[in-house]
Structure 1
Amino acid sequence: METCDERGRIRRPYIRTFLQRRMTLLNIDGYPVLQLIESGRTVQLDRELLRQQFPEGDAP
Structure 2
Amino acid sequence: MKQKKLSLQEQIMADVDDELYSLKKKMQKKYTLSWIKARDCTNYSLRVLLLGFPEKWLKK
Q: What TM-score results when the alignment is normalised by the length of structure 2?
A: 0.30
Structure with the higher fraction of residues in strand conformation: 1
Larger radius of gyration: 2
Q: What TM-score results when the alignment is normalised by the length of structure 1?
A: 0.30
